Amino acid sequence: MSILQQIMDFAGRHLEPFIVRGDELIPEHCPICHGGESGDKYTFALNLTEGVYVCKRGSCGVRGRFEELAERFGERAELIRPAARMKKQFVLPDVQLQPPTEAIVRYFASRKISAETLNAFSIAAAPDGSVVFPFYRDGELVYIKYRAPRKPQGRERKEWQYPGTQPILFGMDMCSFSQP
Ligand SMILES: [Zn+2]
């Protein structure tokens, strides 16, 4: 039986009335503090995918796993949770960035992109003369995209990336998230 099904069954027995919003089941009253003296409503949420619960009422603040909640009601429950997703490990690019070469400046100029723009986006050159698009996050170089400073010849790749790094949006560091 799925986590969702088990929790819904349980809620039908013990948590009525409740609402379901997104992947949370929210009883009208927290089954543990019952909303306290002022009868606060909808402070408790039971996550239908993770099988964990929390009450946001300050003086209650209970949290735990569904199994513990079931135990409070004298039931035994065991949820089969999917193994936590493997977090992918990314490396940081380790390269010596050099100023754009003449070939790079010429290439961009032919595409109507000025040296000022190259400068603004910190476009650089790799030791082999490839164009380097550096991607920064919080001032740290986290990702690099390369391309040759010319139209790809034959089977040449259009662009490639530093292996094992985390792709992010170009120019992200220049975006201000506080001001639209
Ligand atoms: Zn509570």
Structural domain range at position 137: 102-174
Residue 61's domain is classified under what CATH number? 3.90.580.10
Ligand 1 centre to CA of 36 (Å) is 8
Both 67 and 27 in one domain: the answer is yes
Q: Of 72, 89, 116, which closes a domain?
A: 72
Ligand 1 centre to CA of 3 (Å) is 22
* pLDDT value for 175: 61
Average pLDDT value over all residues in the chain:
88
Ligand 1 centre to CA of 4 (Å) is 22
pLDDT band at 180 (very low <50, low <70, confident <90, very high): very low
Overall number of domains in the chain: 2
pLDDT band at 41 (very low <50, low <70, confident <90, very high): very high
Both 46 and 110 in one domain: the answer is no
Whether residue 46 has pLDDT greater than 70: yes
Both 165 and 106 in one domain: the answer is yes
Ligand 1 centre to CA of 131 (Å) is 58
pLDDT band at 178 (very low <50, low <70, confident <90, very high): low
* pLDDT value for 123: 94
State pTM to two decimals.
0.48
Q: Of 57, 72, 87, which closes a domain?
A: 72
Ligand 1 centre to CA of 1 (Å) is 27
Ligand 1 centre to CA of 14 (Å) is 15
Tens of pLDDT along 62-74? Answer: 999 999 999 999 9
For the chain, what is the HEC assignment? CCHHHHHHHHHHHHCCCEEEECCEEEECCCCCCCCCCCCCCCCEEEECCCCEEEECCCCCCCEEEHHHHHHHCCCCCCCCCCCCCCCCCCCCCCCCCECCCHHHHHHHHHCCCCHHHHHHCCCEECCCCCEEEEEEECCEEEEEEEECCCCCCCCCCCCEECCCCCCCCCCHHHCCCCCC
Whether residue 52 has pLDDT greater than 90: yes
| In a domain? residue 151 | yes
Ligand 1 centre to CA of 58 (Å) is 8
Both 66 and 106 in one domain: the answer is no
Both 65 and 109 in one domain: the answer is no
Tens of pLDDT along 81-127? Answer: 876 655 667 888 888 899 999 999 999 999 999 999 999 889 999 99
Ligand 1 centre to CA of 6 (Å) is 21
Ligand 1 centre to CA of 11 (Å) is 16
